Structure 1
Amino acid sequence: MKHHISFIQYFSLVICFVLISSCDFTQINLFHSKEYKVFPDAVKQGDYFAKALSSTHLISNYPIDSTMSIKDTLHWRLTKDLSHYPKFESDFQILNAIYNLSLEELEQNINPDSLFDTGEKWKGVWTRDISYSIILALAITNPEISKRSLMHKVKNGKIIQDPGTGGSWPISSDRMIWSTAAWEVYLSTGDKQWLKKAYTIIKRSTEDDLNVVWDYNEHLFKGESSFLDWREQSYPQWMDAKDIYSAFSLSTQAVHYQNLVVLSKMGKVLNRDSQKYEHISEALKKSINEKFWIKNKKYYAQFKYNAYSPLLSERMEYLGQSLCILFNIANDEQKEQIINNTVQLPFGVPCFYPQIPNIPPYHNTSIWPFVQAYWNWASTQTDNDKSVNHGLAALIRSSALFLTNKENMLAETGDFKGTAINSNRQLWSIAGSLSGIYRVLFGLKFQEDQLKISPYIPREFKGELNIKNLKYRNSTLDIQILGFGNKVNSFMIDSFPLNENVVSGRLKGHHRIVIEMNNSLSYKSKIKVRDNVYSPETPKVNLIDSSLVWQHNNNVREYNIYCNGKMIQETRDTIFRLPKTKNNCSYQIESIDKNRYKSFLSSPIRVYRRGESQLIEAEWFTTLKKPYVTLDNKNHSNFIFKIKVKEKGTYFIDFKYANGNGSTTSNNQCATRSLWVSNDYLGTVVFPQRGKNDWTNWGYTNAIKINLDKGTNDLSLKRETFNKNRNIKNTSALIDQIRIVKTN
């Protein structure tokens, strides 16, 4: 029996090797570069091949581990019943096979509770993962499981923020992408009961964020970049959780903006007052464009950081850029400029660019298929067929060669091996593959009362595309697209021509739609495809004898010196003598290499005038005989104290604290308190986690600017309803000292 199986296996390998060797790589290709080519039924990358033998059978010789040789061949064959899903058929067998592979992996990710797992290695539902996936595709394929999965991330009537930096919310607040996913489910299904339930949850969660993470002076939302939640992977090493909370990240602004837009739209459908959220969204959009748009580079900055003297990180951040296009934060001119001027790598778009040196690949120096999917979708909004084609090819290549939708891959080689963690059938990578069909090629856009169909078909994909059994509210649609282009030439439902390419939300029954494209695309589109590069290292600066001193890096051409957020000098030296000044100063230095790429700014060095700062022991305001004050949820939820100053003015206040409830990278026990001066609420103080069971690790909270009167002032830290952490009831911290610094 063993010999019989061995013969069959050998014979199968021979047949597959013959098949893969006989691929016709002279046929018209869908995409070609020096790195790889995509054909209607195959992918070729050097000595590696993938071939679609049918719409249900893919083979690949790409090595999944070190035991494989180039002569070994792996198979994917469809084993699941996909009849309840929309069926996709086209002239391109590679697309057909990847589509079916992705649906099968989607089925494999439905757990026994009828919820979506996040991936093969990531069990359970994560708020941002499920939400981004639903927006891309799952509201179309699985609206009911999408609803259950979204509700699984609700507790006490509010949206849960998954574990993250410093104990999660409010350091991270991108959980609000939940609302856009919930809205997409409503647009797809028309379910008013779902809309009512979602609206209440979203409104409660939004009100908390408006109290805790909305900055009423900057008109921006504080907090970590969306999904980039490994602190050292995307921020300078000196920034800890409180610094990240105080920063303003592009992708997080986009998430909150769309949340406010969705809340307003939901309110209108339900006849609720939405004016408040409309006003805040307008203020936020204006602030994003004023404070993040880099005019000379023609794209948005990655984030704004350093609470005392905020400056921009000019790295390109791709999810944020894509969302600014898709959510119409950018105007039409900006949209086009973003796609034209943002660097794309040979194997796709990275999380950000340039990369950070000496940080292992995960978010850094890595390509994530779901980010690529949003970029592809955004590219269709700018009539950039080169970007669309390049992006579709990137997703086809990885899914076909790997025979799965991987979590991420190396930016430089496109290989999945070598990143810190990687998972097969990652949910949002699956959704990204499906979105190439639904959102890009078919251009499905669900609206309040209709489905707009605006296909975007690159020249290379000219032919016939079909989706059958697409469920839209109370109708089932079979859609056929003929030709290529970005505009619809004719649109017929059941052989009746329509003036607009829309399907009414009131339509019922089974209908056939035939779309003929205009067979025209602009030849003017362009993209910047560059090799992966790294920025210079962030300078490590010391204050020695009234001078800033740092080590020279051989790759650095020059250094910029900043004081209070303004550049005061360019230099090639590694020492800078501080000028005499009557002001309090915050100094930072950045490195610039020969290609003009900039490092992160160095850790701020603050120089105060004598007598302009004071440290106050917290235990002076308690009767307990301990060298600190305890904050918890039961007996010590509030802290009341007094501050005496010699003159009226504006000050920064922060607190030296400890929080040993968890590490800086996991759990969700960040404590927060509302700061009050007399009867004025001034903002939230965050006490992030600093180490599991480590209550001797002391650091400072975020700083808040306050106005104090001469003499004694009454202050308090209060635990308001909106200060409750989303997940864990027990949040606590210790306060050692209160620090006061007068501003200039």
Structure 2
Amino acid sequence: MRARRRLALAGAAWLLAGVATAQGIDTNGTVSWQGRSASMSAAGVGSFVLHAPRGDRRIAPQKLAVHTASPLFDGLFAMAQDDLRQDSVAAIRDDAYDHGQSIPCECFATGEKWPYVWTRDLSYAVDLALWRLDPERARQSLRFKLSEVREPSATQGLYVMQDTGSGGSWPISTDRIVWFLGARHLHDDPHFADETWRALQDTLAQDRQYTFDAQLGLYRGETSFLDWREQSYPAWTAKDVSFIGESYALSTNVLHYQALQLAAAWAEQRHDAHVAEFRGQAEALKRAINTYFWRDDRGLYMSYIGPGAMPVDSYDLLGIALAVTSGVADPARARQALAQYPTWPAGSPVIWPERKDQPVYHNRAIWPFVSAYALRAARAVNDAPRIAHEMDSLLRGAALSASNMENYELLTQAVHVEEGALSGPVVNSPRQLWSVAGYLDMVIGGVFGLDESGRIEPKLPAAWVAPLFGDRTRITLQLADQRITLVRPATLDGDLLVSASQRRDGNETIVALKAIRSDAPPLRTDAPLYAPAMPDAPVVTDTSAGWKVSFSGKGVLYLDGRRVGPIDGSVVVPKGASRQCFRLTRIAEDGLESLPSQETCKGEETRIAGQGPWRWRTNSDGRFAVALAYANNHGPINTGVTAAVKQLMVQCEGQPLQSIPLVMPHSAGIQRSTTGSFVAHAGAACQFSLEQGFNMSYLRHNAHYTGNQGGTAGPLNQANIDALLLSPAPQAGATP
């Protein structure tokens, strides 16, 4: 408790001081921060020694180099390359594959503590920088995450693997589509381009079939990379992830938008007939994202929304950064979202607000690769204060920890703080691949302005001029095939340096800089750190006037995802024709809402026991909700590849055959599956039967999976089904 109070006071002092940047580096090659310091000294041509709190690190000459007035800046660029060298391996391993035995692969390992290739880590790292530095190893690593199908009866194709994940992985965890973010840079190899095109079509089609909600126009599933459920989702999802499978994440939907854009562009290049289809799907998805995720009262995109499009007062920096860099956010919303996302002296948190009851990992943490994407987003809108702040955080973290670490505690930028059960970061790996790539991108793209198309567009904050230039007029980046030189302007009458003119001299581009005023707002430093505590499930009692919902405290009541209104004591809600499900959030004095409670459901629901097929006759026209009561004990709730996925085939009189995907993730006893819906006329007889769907255990690659079931013994896509559950479907959720 005392440690947490000290951290809160330190943050408050910064807010009172109104400090915008705190990089603390000087031209002597030193960075100082909260009583810790690191310095860099030259040790021969291209060699450096970093003197950090944990000891000295010697850095050998590297292939690429920067030449500035700051030995620290120059040496840390060399250190990032040395970290990348150590992550470039001939074999990988993970305890969940081949019993932890080495697997030959000329690949990028994920980090010192993660000697395997994971889809999201690799893909973000390739997108940030690795496609440029080692394209062949990047291709090999990406290929390792592609797989064909080993089960002859399943739909064949070449698919991107969703790693082991929540409730048995895909389609609860659904961010495998990020693979194409990295692969898009590497299509100069014709064979790899053909593989990518095939995987893109097959993966998009499969996601469309199983995770796309046609009513909202969004893809379901977990937030990208934020996969420790109770850190960013309600704590009760640690035991029931169906809520996650029925929710919609900003980051994952933006990644699908980018994949659809890529599909449209490649279809056009290949004269494929599906150009208009892909383009239309991309534009429709962009509209849906802006309709459902934008909160005008916050000026931010929500991190995720719950079933029924229930708004959740929770935000994440990666999702917002991707919305900006992808073009999903228009210029006005892009600027506003970055300006409204709060920051602290050490850097920008990956989620906000933080959770008081969770240890440091995603919660109350800085992740350098996310800071790198935030830097890209800030460059896109000329947000000079945010550019400087993310650069400060990236440089300071690498210098003080003598490696490009996985993450840092938010208020101290320490690699670990001791707070009993809340200590953390719980895991923190040196030379984490996407952190390495983020640092390299900060130098190559962030400082010197080289983008993926080859254009050079520096956007250097004026706060960085003194440490980088010193008394020099030029600084230089030397890449394998080109050299970029930035020339300092004579005067600094603005907060952002951009290109005034460029000229070529052989393979060197010389960029004369000029200062402009970005007119960007200052960083947001007044945000509360923590969200209020989540309430228990609401108490709902039956009265003659309707359902009486009671709550002791200030909160907000939600009915089937729709905001009913504030509650302070009790409120009566009229009974409806459908089963009605209530959730609560708590409101703090500062106006923030907590994460949503578990639901309390009331009203009639038809339960037809058995494993199917089932028969039922409707008593009204309309849309009906359908789910399964089931148990899936084929793996723990937080991992695995055996989420049970079925197609419920519904044949009602007067309607065409309707096919509804239902997901039964790993469970703790009997739970409810995800919910689907179908249309029927009054009095119609309906028949229901189950057909096999698809999960990650069908992939040939997972024949090597030895961590739980669904691996070497063969695919497994089963659950113990107890009953079919039917009720009139609730009204679709409204926007906040």
- Which residue is equivalent to 1:401? 400
Q: Work out whether residues 541 and 549 of structure 1, in 8 Å CA contact, stay in contact via their aligned partners in 2.
A: no
Aligned to 1:231: 229
Q: Which has the larger radius of gyration?
A: 1
User: What does residue 41 of structure 2 align with?
Assistant: 53
Give the counterpart letter for 2:62 in structure 1: L
How much has 1:207 moved relative to structure 2?
0.9
Amino acid at match of 1:271: H
Q: Which amino acid aligns with 2:616?
A: I
- Please name the residue that 1:87 is paired with: 65
Aligned AA (1:292): F
Q: What's 2:441 paired with?
A: 435
**Counterparts of 1:711 and 1:581, CA distance in 2:** 22
Q: Alignment partner for residue 126 of structure 1, among 118, 124, 131?
A: 118
Q: Which amino acid aligns with 2:48?
A: H
Amino acid at match of 1:38: I
Alignment partner of 1:261: what SS? helix
- Find the aligned partners of 1:359 and 1:49 in 2 and give their Cα distance: 29
- Residue 143 of structure 1 and its aligned partner are, at CA, apart by 0.7
> What SS does structure 2 have at the residue aligned with 1:601?
coil
Residue 61 of structure 1, CA deviation: 4.7
Q: SS state of the match for residue 167, structure 2?
A: helix
After TM superposition, the structure 1 = structure 2 runs for residues 421-500 of structure 1, keeping only pairs within 5 Å, are 421-447=427-453, 451-462=454-465, 463=469, 464-470=474-480, 476-483=481-488, 485-494=496-505
Aligned to 2:58: 77
TM-score by length of 2: 0.83
TM-score for the superposition, normalised by structure 1:
0.82
Q: In structure 2, what is the Cα distance between the partners aligned to 1:260 and 1:582?
A: 39
**Residue 743 of structure 1 is aligned with which of 716, 721, 729?**
729
Per the TM alignment, residue 369 of structure 1 is displaced from its structure 2 partner at its CA by 0.8
Match among 664, 669, 674 for residue 637 of structure 2 = 664
Give the drift of 1:442: 2.0
1:496-548 Cα offsets, whole Å, 9 max, x none, are xxxxxxxxxxxxxx612111112334354422124761111111034364376
Q: How many residues align?
A: 641
The one-letter code matched in structure 1 to 2:676 is: I
1:714 aligns with 2:687: yes
Select 1:211's aligned residue among 193, 209, 212: 209
The 3-state SS of whatever aligns with 2:516 is: coil
Of residues 100, 107, 126, the one that matches 2:78 is 100
Matched to 1:458, the amino acid is P
Correspondence list, 1:9-48, <5 A: 37-40=24-27, 41-48=29-36
In the alignment, the residues of structure 1 paired with residue 409 and residue 650 of structure 2 have an alpha-carbon distance, to the nearest angstrom, of 50
SS at match of 2:587: strand
> What residue number does 1:588 align with?
583
Match of 1:698 in 2: 670
In structure 1, how many angstroms separate the alpha carbons of the residues matched to 2:21 and 2:349?
19
Deviation per CA, 1:342-374: give whole Å up to 9, x if none.
111211111111112211111111111111110
1:265 and 2:265 correspond: yes
Alpha-carbon distance in structure 2 between the residues aligned to 1:487 and 1:271: 39
Alpha-carbon shift at residue 722 of structure 1 (Å):
8.3
> What SS class does the counterpart of residue 147 from structure 1 fall into?
helix
Identify the residue that residue 296 of structure 2 maps to in structure 1.
Answer: 295
Say if 1:51 and 1:236 are closer, same or farther in 2 by CA, change over 3 A.
same
Q: Shift in Å at residue 47 of structure 1?
A: 2.3
2:59 corresponds to which letter in structure 1? L
Q: CA deviation at 1:482?
A: 1.4
Distance 1:32 1:314 in 2: 27
In structure 1, C-alpha distance between the alignment counterparts of 2:538 and 2:586, rounded to whole Å: 15
Is 1:115 aligned to residue 103 of structure 2? no
Amino acid at match of 2:443: I
Q: CA deviation digits over 1:575-610, x for unaligned, max 9?
A: 4455566664322221111111110122222211xx
Instruction: Give the drift of 1:731.
Output: 2.4
Compared with structure 1, are the counterparts of its residues 337 and 61 closer, same or farther at alpha carbon in structure 2 (3 Å cutoff)? Answer: same
Instruction: Report the CA distance shift for 1:192/1:318 in structure 2 as closer, same or farther (over 3 A).
Output: same
Residues 538 and 584 of structure 2 are in contact (CA less than 8 Å); yes or no, is this contact kept in structure 1?
Answer: no
| CA RMSD, 1 decimal | 2.3
- Relative to structure 1, is the Cα distance of residues 681 and 533 closer, same or farther in structure 2, using a 3 angstrom cutoff? same
Q: Which amino acid aligns with 1:297?
A: R
> Which structure ranks higher in relative contact order (CA pairs < 8 Å, sequence separation ≥ 6)?
2
Asked whether the equivalents of residues 674 and 723 of structure 1 are also in contact (C-alpha less than 8 Å), the reply is no
Select the residue among 650, 654, 660 that pairs with 2:623: 650
Q: Which runs of 5+ in 2 are unaligned?
A: 1-17, 91-104, 149-157, 417-423, 490-495, 703-709, 731-736
CA distance in 2, matches of 1:313, 1:173: 19
| Match of residue 560 from structure 1 | 556
Report the Cα distance in structure 1 between the residues aligned to 2:335 and 2:657, rounded to whole angstroms. Answer: 45
- For residues 647 and 550 of structure 1, the distance between their equivalents in structure 2, rounded to whole angstroms, comes to 32
Rate the CA distance shift 1:549–1:282 in 2: closer, same or farther, 3 A. Answer: closer
State how far apart, in whole Å, the 2-side matches of 1:383 and 1:230 are: 33
User: Which residue in the other structure is 2:4 paired with?
Assistant: none
Corresponding position of 1:281: 282
- Deviation of residue 130 (structure 1)? 0.3
Of 646-655 and 51-60, more deviation after overlay is shown by: 51-60
Whole-angstrom CA distance in 2 between matches of 1:97 and 1:369 = 18
- % same residue: 24
1:176 aligns to what?
177
Task: Return the letter of the residue paired with 1:562.
Answer: Y
Cα separation, 1, equivalents of 2:242 and 2:520: 45
SS at match of 1:513: strand
Give, as a single letter, the amino acid of the residue that structure 1 aligns with 2:305: K
Query: Are the equivalent residues in 2 in contact too, given 1:404–1:424 (CA < 8 A)?
Result: yes
- Tell me how far 1:231 sits from its aligned partner: 1.1
Match of 2:154? none
CA change 1:61–1:437 in 2 (3 A) is: closer
Partner of 2:155: none
Letter in 2 for 1:57: F
Distance 1:651 1:76 in 2: 64
- One-letter identity of the residue aligned with 2:675: A
**Counterpart amino acid of 1:707?**
V
